[in-house]
Amino acid sequence: MVFFQSVFWLLVLIGVMILIHELGHFWAARYFDVRVDAFSFGFGPRLFGFRKGETDYRFSLILFGGYVKMAGEQPGDENANDPRGFLGKPRWQRLIIAFAGPFMNVVLAVALLTGLYMVKYQKVLDADNGAVIGSVAPDTPAAKAGIQDGDKIVGLEGHRDPTWEDIILKEVESASRPIHLTIERNGKDFETTVTPVMDDRTGLGVAGWSEKGEVQLGPVSPNMPAQKAGLRKGDLILAAGGHQIHSVARFHEAIHESKGKPLTIELQRGGQVRQVTVQPVWVTNDGPARWMIGVLPEPKLNVLTTRLSLPAALQEAVRDNLRSADVIFQFLSGIVQRRISPKSLTGPIGIGQMSGQAAREGPSAFIMLMSMVSLNLAIFNLLPIPILDGGVIVMLLIEMLMRRDMSLTVKEAVFKVGFVFIMMLVAFVLYNDISKILPAG
């Protein structure tokens, strides 16, 4: 049932992305009087549709994608010399048509967050104690650097008072690269260096520390030990296995250290403290094989919920998308510089899982995910890869500088290389997704 829900919400998510993206190309083409022969949702053979004017609006067999077919779009087409064909228009108009698709995805990303923030805006209030470490796993880079539970990170690469967002971003992009830190312990500062290692499954840098804070339960899986023991979403975890719990990682460690023996959990619910006993089970069909009780622990955040006016919501949405775009570019540069493994890339299977999870969490989570995916799609399409919009834009800019068209042979060779690259990328991200689902080893 969960699988079919994930597939359904993935189709909804991708469907909206495709529709908005292709509408950008379509509207720009129509504005410059380019004849549009087909507006297709999906690739491959036509399933059904209707014709309006000179355009065939269709649904095609393979739903993961879509396209706008313009007259004379490719060199050698029978309509290549048509004055209403794509190639018959000035290069600056063609450039705008190519850019319009990614631009509409950016507009969608901003519009979604703007609408959400006008209804429900949640701001995480910063903790007064700063970036305090809740737990350090043994034999990890953080432990080897001498960092201990309760230490406070007050300096990151020369910058004072970093947030945990700053620290995590630096951690994941710095596999095999030292991070210079200033640590405060018992009122005194000292300098140290942590060199994260690359996680084999995620392809991201891992230091082995986690933030100090209260831990509450997120979703509780049905028919798992946690549900049978009476644990509920929202329970505040105080202790597990005799250890005080100050981080999500420490809670996972307590479950792992139980080795399947009954685990006593102390929790707070409705202002009352209670104890329950849970017996973890060995799970091999949900990622790496490990002891589990069937809960998703998460940090308890101090969140202020309010509504924003339209101008304030728009301003905050633009700011959040700019911040997200900066993170995406840092990840891409990290992959190019081999600081981040390409294993960190997520394909349709991973996005499907996130879609289903977000839909189960509620409309706000799904809208946030849709905004993020739309922004990612815009940036990906603007990469200078042939057959993508970014590749078309780069070729047009080169031709504008040369003041002449590239030869048909060169264009065909470039597009063939681009097609092969995209097919290899699709195969790689699918393999990535599957390898993260299958049990380790």
CATH classification of the domain holding 205 = 2.30.42.10
Please check whether residues 142 and 183 belong to one and the same domain: yes
Q: Could you tell me if residue 356 is inside a domain?
A: no
Q: Could you tell me if residue 252 is inside a domain?
A: yes
Lowest mean pLDDT among 73-77, 270-274, 375-379: 73-77
Q: How many domains does the chain have?
A: 2
Final residue in a domain of this structure, among 301, 322, 357: 301
- Say if residues 139 and 164 touch (Cβ distance below 8 Å): no
Q: Which of 76-80, 132-136, 264-268 has the highest mean pLDDT?
A: 264-268
For 395-408, the pLDDT digits (tens) are 999 999 998 888 87
Q: Could you tell me if residue 393 is inside a domain?
A: no
Tokens 């031709």, residue located: 399
15 in helix, strand or coil? Answer: helix
pLDDT at 439: 57
- Say if residues 387 and 419 touch (Cβ distance below 8 Å): yes
Higher pLDDT, 4 or 370: 370
Domain that holds residue 181: 133-210
Query: Does 17 score more than 90 pLDDT?
Result: no
Q: How confident is the model at residue 84 (pLDDT cuts 50, 70, 90)?
A: confident
Q: What mean pLDDT comes out for the span 225-250?
A: 89
Q: Could you tell me if residue 244 is inside a domain?
A: yes
Name the percent of the chain lying above pLDDT 90: 35
Q: Could you tell me if residue 31 is inside a domain?
A: no
Quickly list DSSP for 285-323.
SSSS-EEE-SEEEEE---EEEE---HHHHHHHHHHHHHH
Q: Are strands 243-244 and 215-220 parallel, antiparallel or unpaired?
A: unpaired
Predicted model pTM:
0.79
Name the percent of the chain lying above pLDDT 70: 94
Q: Could you tell me if residue 183 is inside a domain?
A: yes
Final residue in a domain of this structure, among 210, 231, 252: 210
Quickly list DSSP for 96-141.
HHHHHHHHHHHHHHHHHHHHHHHH-EEEEPPPTT-SBEEEE-TTSH
Please check whether residues 225 and 294 belong to one and the same domain: yes
Final residue in a domain of this structure, among 148, 181, 210: 210
Distance CA 134, CA 131 (A): 9
Please check whether residues 202 and 265 belong to one and the same domain: no
Q: What mean pLDDT comes out for the span 378-407?
A: 90
Categorise residue 234: left if φ over 0, alpha if ψ from -120 to 50, beta otherwise.
left
pLDDT at 205: 87
- Say if residues 362 and 54 touch (Cβ distance below 8 Å): no
Please check whether residues 186 and 256 belong to one and the same domain: no
64 in helix, strand or coil? Answer: strand
Q: What mean pLDDT comes out for the span 194-216?
A: 86
Distance CA 421, CA 267 (A): 52
Distance CA 41, CA 68 (A): 9
Distance CA 95, CA 92 (A): 5
Higher pLDDT, 288 or 86: 86
| Average pLDDT, rounded, for the chain | 86
Please check whether residues 229 and 287 belong to one and the same domain: yes
Distance CA 231, CA 251 (A): 14
Pull the structure tokens for residue 338.
């081999």
Please check whether residues 183 and 232 belong to one and the same domain: no
Q: Could you tell me if residue 320 is inside a domain?
A: no
11 in helix, strand or coil? Answer: helix
Cα separations (Å) of 207 from 50, 194, 227?
56, 7, 32
Distance CA 39, CA 29 (A): 12
Q: What mean pLDDT comes out for the span 274-290?
A: 83
Distance CA 172, CA 331 (A): 9
Please check whether residues 294 and 243 belong to one and the same domain: yes
Please check whether residues 203 and 254 belong to one and the same domain: no
Cβ neighbours of residue 172 closer than 8 Å, sequence gap 6 or more = 196, 204, 205, 206, 340, 344
* Residue 147 exposed, middle or buried by CB count within 10 Å (0-12, 13-18, 19+): buried
Instruction: Count CB-CB contacts under 10 A for residue 293.
Output: 25
